[in-house]
Amino acid sequence: EIVLTQSPATLSLSPGERATLSCRASQSVSSYFAWYQQKPGQAPRLLIYDASNRATGIPARFSGSGSGTDFTLTISSLEPGDFAVYYCQQRADWPLTFGGGTRLEIK
């Protein structure tokens, strides 16, 4: 199975700052890659699909990049509602797998 490793595990930043979250795959997944946001007590929400495409209704401050094995989610200017856990996911091979998550917390 394809293992996804997210870093850092926890990221402490202030509102208005730029956040950069990383995910590395154990083998190439091409651009078959997505990012999700999960707030406490809520279901995950799709942010980015196919590595760089924003899902419906997702603000432009969220952007995704990368291909192959290295991917990045960037939040250009953090807003209070952005502090949450972020997961990456690959769909290049079965089973579909998720990364372990990055917790984005308020500094």
Name the site residues for another protein (rule: CB under 8 A). 32, 34, 36, 38, 42-46, 49-50, 55-56, 87, 89, 91, 94-101
What distance in Å separates the CA atoms of residue 23 and residue 65, rounded to the nearest whole number?
A: 11
Q: Provide the minimum distance between the beta carbon of 12 and another protein in the complex, in angstroms, as a whole number.
A: 20
Tokens 């995950």 found at:
44
Give the residue with the Cβ less far from another protein, 38 or 74: 38
What distance in Å separates the CA atoms of residue 43 and residue 107, rounded to the nearest whole number?
A: 24
Query: Which residues are registered as beta bridge partners of 72?
Result: 22, 65
Give the residue with the Cβ less far from another protein, 61 or 91: 91
